[in-house]
Amino acid sequence: MSLPVAHTHDPVAHPASGSDLTPAEVADLEAEIRALARAQDAVILAHNYQLPEVQRVADHVGDSLQLAITGRQVAQRTIVFCGVHFMAESAKVLAPEKRVLLPNLSAGCSLADSITAESLEDWKARYPGHAVVTYVNSTAEVKALSDVCCTSANAASVVRSLPQRQILFTPDRNLGAWVKAKVPEKEVVVYDGCCPVHDVLRSASVTRVKAGRPDAVVIAHPECRADVLEIADEICSTTAMLAAVGKHPEAHTFIVATEHGIVHQLRQRWPGKEFVIADGCIGCRMHCPYMKMVDLLMVRDALRHGKHEITVPADVADGARRALERMLAVPRDA
Ligand code: 13P
Ligand code: SF4
């Protein structure tokens, strides 16, 4: 099977950010986007890491899986997916009858690209009898070759639910190591992929940020390295972070170890609290260039010109859907 080369993943292809626009231009664009969406029977979905102005214009903001499920449930026939390529692909796989648009085809994901269908085939051949668990941050082709998918929210439950004792976990090595520690009864072999945005963070940086805020609660995404997870008070997916804040009513400050776009949603939900990105520097290290490749002009043009329609070959979509549906059937506490 060949890998679809729908996106270039070239960070240089970064568009002009919507933040270059004046507030009046932004307001006009937002109104135009909403009118176009109504006229085209479209729903706008945005990931938690998207630019704040894109999150504001969206009908639903959430994590990758939540958005794909929402896309399937809503009545609209067109989904404008403001996120990265694998997320729009998952939305298409779960709602094949709908038109799914990704405003910028260059919006890829280093983690999803760290394993191809060919490299997974090779890896599987070296471990006969192992069940393959694949994180949703992966291409549809890789999902189609997997027994079941998982998210950062349900990875341990999915691994625990499988009849096989021997598991191949792909592609994220940090999430895989975390799951392996949580499910010691399984023999988990972990693939060597990672998200550079999370993998770059070290516990020393988190400790430095915490030094001036000793009472702060540390919330980390499981794509972070083990040394960071060890000092985290909460480990969860992006959307689960919003609820995790509520578990610490006494705390005022939260140190967040994930991509800085999540701060927009955290501030919306918890206006009285303070959120600091774990590296202490919004916009430098914990910055996903792919997640910032969609701006308001692109959302408008996606609706105006039907750009860019995501297609998944039927055999690949069937296989990926099977792996995703198996995941959705796993009870959360399995
Ligand atoms: P979530 O599924 O937790 O939103 O994470 C997606 C992602 O890309 C993390 O880097
Ligand atoms: Fe991919 Fe990492 Fe960006 Fe998430 S933050 S989309 S895993 S590169």
Do 240 and 296 lie in a common domain? no
- The residue whose C-alpha atom lies closest to atom 2 belonging to ligand 2 is 195
Q: Is residue 1 part of a domain?
A: no
Predicted model pTM? 0.92
- pLDDT (0 to 100) of residue 120: 98
Domain count, the chain: 3
What integer pLDDT is reported at residue 2 of this predicted model? 31
Sheet holding 274-277, edge to edge: 234-235, 217-220, 253-257, 274-277
The mean pLDDT values, 10 residues at a time, for the chain of 334 residues are: 32 45 93 98 98 97 89 97 97 97 98 98 98 98 98 93 98 98 97 96 93 95 97 94 97 97 96 91 79 97 97 98 96 67
Pull the structure tokens for residue 142.
Answer: 């890789």
The pLDDT value recorded for residue 212 is 86
Assigned domain for 3 exists: no
Pick the atom of ligand 1 nearest to 236's CA: 3
**Rounded Cα–Cα distance for residues 73 and 34 (Å):** 20
The two structure tokens encoding residue 27? 């307001």
**153/122 same-domain check:** yes
Does 122 lie in the same domain as 92? no
A 10 A CB-CB count for 12 gives 7
Predicted pLDDT at 8? 32
The pLDDT score that the predictor gives to residue 328 is 94
Q: Quick one: pLDDT at residue 3? A: 31
Q: Are 219 and 277 in contact (CB under 8 A)?
A: no
| 190 CA from centroid of ligand 1 (Å) | 19
Q: How far is the CA of 111 from the centre of ligand 2 (A)?
A: 6
Ligand 1: residue of 9, 45, 47, 69 to mutate (most ligand atoms within 8 A of CB) is 47
CATH number of the domain that 143 lies in?
3.40.50.10800
In a domain, 334, yes or no: no
**Tokens of residue 37, six digits:** 């969406």
From 154, 178, 238, give the residue whose CB has the most ligand 1 atoms within 8 Å, as the site to mutate: 238
Ligand number nearest CA of 199 is 2
Residues near ligand 2 with C-beta < 6 Å? 84, 109-111, 137, 195, 197, 259, 288, 290-291
